[in-house]
């Protein structure tokens, strides 16, 4: 009998090696590794989601008639060897894993792999896209994807007459508006079993049902998004609200990243709703762009750049991860306090708080890129190395020197004020760059541009801002205030 080894982020009967497996001819192996579980101080909800989803999928396969060998072992290789010794399969096969380390593991163990269909653009396909270009941007890749997948196309032209509707999708948050929460799951015996098994090193609020651990629950959340949130997704996708943690976002990334949902079925459902006339073009295009554009671009950048990205540090950032992130210390910054609290409560915030609150602050304060990447990896329910390395190292921190992003995503308090209600009632003044009440984002923004002016003044996307910084009349005071901010940050007193 053949063994199919399934990893915890491949939880779908339609993925790779499992797609053609039958109970009569295949046994299924899962390995729950103590080393993996204890390798980082994971957020409780992130680790619960990973383990409960895997255990639940294993039970579903058993209900379908498969013989499942679910092993708890000290390491993945130990569990594999014990399985082979006991069951002596004629062959062990696996779908291409979703991390560099896992693929190296299978090579060492001489496990045959089959091509993964968990993403819409395999790295081999991406290579053909990239081969004819000296450089490549996400926008070029996105248009290539739209054509090859025939999504939102009228012949060779984009639906609605434009490739993107970004100009319509940058509205600040509306006043007195919230959106319905995704459904809550009732925690069952399996959930309680997993919670009891979580190591003492986990942190954050305990699981409360926000994150479903079954395919049925993931599909319910897809329908919730399409029916109740998608029409408003586009206009407010960059907005942030103090009292609404998700706005009109899908909150589907955890299910896409562990296989409970597949990108093709998600996009197909969204486009079908648009074709029925229920969704405006700017919302459906904005969402499709995230799934087939940015997500698949990041996936393929990971395979092109790793493992080198782990050591990337183009701006020579060296600050240790400050107490604010490691012990949930109180901060007078209202925006940061809200975002860190949301992460503590649900292990998730959407992409703009990640980029323009957390990443922006880490960038301008000079936090070491891999330390910050590891924190993000530990903290988010949808995290994986392939997600966090290109997004944080490349997009947020510009540590790759511009391979992913064409400019550093740095901003002062003005952007946060424009796109959120965070600044209202904050201790700090988002307009001030000097003085004790100056917004740390605003001070550090100008200090960051001045610190790296020789490099950034040659970048056409940010050169104008650098020149504006060079003309400031209070440069010395800005630098002095920045030093005070960074000292308070290091001391946990900001």
Q: What is the mean pLDDT of residues 84-96?
A: 98
State residue 330's pLDDT score. Answer: 81
- Sequence-separated contacts (24+) of 431-434 with Cβ below 8 Å: 433/474, 433/478, 433/481, 434/474, 434/477, 434/478, 434/480, 434/481
CATH 3.40.50.620 correct for 2-114: yes
pLDDT tens readout for residues 285-317: 999 999 999 999 999 999 999 999 999 999 999
- Predicted TM-score (pTM) of this structure: 0.96
State residue 132's pLDDT score. Answer: 80
Fold of 123-305: 1.25.40
Domain range annotation of the chain? 2-114, 123-305, 313-491
State residue 133's pLDDT score. Answer: 83
The whole-angstrom separation of Cα 341 and Cα 327 is 12
The residue length of the chain stands at 494
State residue 177's pLDDT score. Answer: 87
Q: Residue 305's CB: how many other CB atoms inside 10 A?
A: 18
Mean pLDDT of the chain, nearest integer: 96
The whole-angstrom separation of Cα 442 and Cα 464 is 17
Q: What is the mean pLDDT of residues 162-190?
A: 94
pLDDT tens readout for residues 127-159: 999 988 877 889 999 999 999 999 999 999 999
pLDDT tens readout for residues 204-234: 999 999 999 999 999 999 999 999 999 999 9
Q: How far is CA 406 from CA 170, 238, 396, in A?
A: 20, 19, 11
Q: What is the mean pLDDT of residues 354-374?
A: 98
CATH 1.10.579.10 correct for 313-491: yes
pLDDT tens readout for residues 437-490: 999 999 999 999 999 999 999 999 999 999 999 999 999 999 999 999 999 999
State residue 329's pLDDT score. Answer: 67
Q: Residue 434's CB: how many other CB atoms inside 10 A?
A: 20
- DSSP label of 438: B
The whole-angstrom separation of Cα 72 and Cα 138 is 40
* Cβ atoms of residues 369 and 392 within 8 Å: yes
* Cβ atoms of residues 26 and 66 within 8 Å: yes
State residue 176's pLDDT score. Answer: 86
Question: Which region among 89-93, 170-174, 368-372 has the lowest average model confidence (pLDDT)?
Answer: 170-174
Q: What is the mean pLDDT of residues 197-203?
A: 97
Residue 328: is its pLDDT beyond 70? no
């Amino acid at each position: 009998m053949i063994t199919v080894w399934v990893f915890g982020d491949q939880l779908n009967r339609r993925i790779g090696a499992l797609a053609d497996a039958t109970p009569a001819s295949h046994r299924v192996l899962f390995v729950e590794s103590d080393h993996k579980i204890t390798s980082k101080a994971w957020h409780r909800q992130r680790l619960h989601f990973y383990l409960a989803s895997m255990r639940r999928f294993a039970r579903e396969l058993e209900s379908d008639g498969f013989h499942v060998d679910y092993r708890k072992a000290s390491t993945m290789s130990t569990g594999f060897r014990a399985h082979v010794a006991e069951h002596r399969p004629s062959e062990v096969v696996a779908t291409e894993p979703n991390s560099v380390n896992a693929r190296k593991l299978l090579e060492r163990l001489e496990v045959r792999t089959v091509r993964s269909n968990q993403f819409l653009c395999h790295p081999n396909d991406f290579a053909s896209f990239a081969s004819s270009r000296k450089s490549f941007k996400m926008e070029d890749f996105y248009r290539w994807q739209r054509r090859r997948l025939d999504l939102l196309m009228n012949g060779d032209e984009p639906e609605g007459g434009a490739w993107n509707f970004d100009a319509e999708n940058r509205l600040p948050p509306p006043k007195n508006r919230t959106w319905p929460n995704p459904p809550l799951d009732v925690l069952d015996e399996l959930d309680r079993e997993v919670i009891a098994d979580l190591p003492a090193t986990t942190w954050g609020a305990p699981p409360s049902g926000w994150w479903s651990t079954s395919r049925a629950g993931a599909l319910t959340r897809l329908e919730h998004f399409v029916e109740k949130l998608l029409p408003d997704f586009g206009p407010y996708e960059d907005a942030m609200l103090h009292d609404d943690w998700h706005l009109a976002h899908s909150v589907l990334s955890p299910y896409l990243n562990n296989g409970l949902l597949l990108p093709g079925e998600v996009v197909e459902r969204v486009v079908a709703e648009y074709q029925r006339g229920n969704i405006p073009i700017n919302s459906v295009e904005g969402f499709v762009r995230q799934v087939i554009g940015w997500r698949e671009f990041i996936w393929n950048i990971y395979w092109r750049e790793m493992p080198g990205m782990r050591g990337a540090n183009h701006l020579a950032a060296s600050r240790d991860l400050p107490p604010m992130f490691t012990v949930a210390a109180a901060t007078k910054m209202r925006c940061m306090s809200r975002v860190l609290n949301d992460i503590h409560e649900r292990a998730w915030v959407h992409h703009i708080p990640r980029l323009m609150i957390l990443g922006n602050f880490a960038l301008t304060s000079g936090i070491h890129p891999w330390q910050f990447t590891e924190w993000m990896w530990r903290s988010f329910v949808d995290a994986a190395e392939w997600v966090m390395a290109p997004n944080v190292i490349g997009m947020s921190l510009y540590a790759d020197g511009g391979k992913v992003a064409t400019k550093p995503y740095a901003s002062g308090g003005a952007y946060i004020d424009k796109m959120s209600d965070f600044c209202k009632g904050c201790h700090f003044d988002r307009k001030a760059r000097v003085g004790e009440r100056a917004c740390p984002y605003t001070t550090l923004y100008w200090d960051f541009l001045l610190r790296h002016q020789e490099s950034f003044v040659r970048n056409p996307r940010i050169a104008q801002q650098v020149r504006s910084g060079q003309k400031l009349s209070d440069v010395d005071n800005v630098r002095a205030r920045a030093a005070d901010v960074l000292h308070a940050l290091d001391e946990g007193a900001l």
